[in-house]
Amino acid sequence: MVTARERAWAAAAAVPDPEIPCVTVADLGILRDVHIEDGAAVAKVTPTYSGCPATSFIEDAIAEALRKAGFEARIERVLSPPWTTDWITPEGRRKLRTYGIAPPAEGSNSKRALFGKTSVSCPRCSSTDTERISEFGSTPCKAQYRCRACSEPFDYFKCI
């Protein structure tokens, strides 16, 4: 038998990221917890970064998903510990790559990943012969790259 908590988690976890719809909030690791408290489903959400323009939209979408699943919904924004790209699930990384976005190449706690030259593999042909075109891609959390092997441009989800 499925518990209320499991139903609430499933509803919240299925919400897609509005900027990268191939992944869910669970895939990105920003959905921290869902529990039942005084009859309400409480979802704990950590934004990817403090200036993320999609944070309120994501919280509203999770609340709506919980209401559609039959729950009174409450969202709690959790800022500590801060989200890092280490929280992206293996399934989320696979979905990003399939969608054409290179997932973070290294752990966010790596000084090389944060401040050094990062080797980024092309999500289309897997070549590491790539070059950064712009520090910013279609969203602030991504950089624009080009593959020298297949000549395709692609976004790289930066290590945060």
Convert the chain into a string of H (helix), E (strand) and C (coil).
CCCHHHHHHHHHHCCECCCCCCCEHHHHCCEEEEEEECCEEEEEECCCCCCCCCHHHHHHHHHHHHHHCCCEEEEEECCCCCCCHHHCCHHHHHHHHHHCEECCCCCCCCHHHHHCCCCCCCCCCCCCCEEEEECCCCCCCEEEEEECCCCCEEEEECCC
Question: 25 and 61 in one domain?
Answer: yes
Residue whose token pair is 């012969």 = 129
| Whole-number pLDDT of residue 117 | 64
Question: 108 and 149 in one domain?
Answer: yes
Angstrom distance (rounded) from CA 75 to CA 107: 28
CATH number at residue 37: 3.30.300.130
| Whole-number pLDDT of residue 136 | 85
Question: 153 and 104 in one domain?
Answer: yes
CA nearest neighbour of 33 among 1, 66, 55: 66
* Residue 73 located in a structural domain: yes
User: Which of 54, 77, 100 is the last residue in one of the domains?
Assistant: 77
* Residue 82 located in a structural domain: no
Q: What is the pLDDT along the chain (160 residues), one digit of tens a residue?
A: 989 999 999 999 999 999 999 999 999 999 999 999 999 999 999 999 888 889 999 999 999 999 999 999 999 999 999 999 999 999 999 999 999 999 987 565 555 555 556 789 999 999 999 999 999 888 888 899 999 999 999 999 988 7
Q: How many domains does the chain have?
A: 2
| Whole-number pLDDT of residue 51 | 82
User: Which of 46, 77, 108 is the last residue in one of the domains?
Assistant: 77
| Whole-number pLDDT of residue 64 | 98
| Whole-number pLDDT of residue 33 | 97
Residue 101 — φ and ψ, nearest 5°? -110, 125
Residue whose token pair is 């897997």 = 126
Please give the residue range of the domain that contains residue 28.
4-77
Question: 96 and 69 in one domain?
Answer: no
Question: 136 and 98 in one domain?
Answer: yes
Question: 144 and 122 in one domain?
Answer: yes
| Whole-number pLDDT of residue 137 | 82
| Whole-number pLDDT of residue 108 | 55
| Whole-number pLDDT of residue 86 | 93
Total Cβ atoms within 10 A of residue 146: 16
Question: 104 and 46 in one domain?
Answer: no
Question: 95 and 72 in one domain?
Answer: no
What's the pTM? 0.87
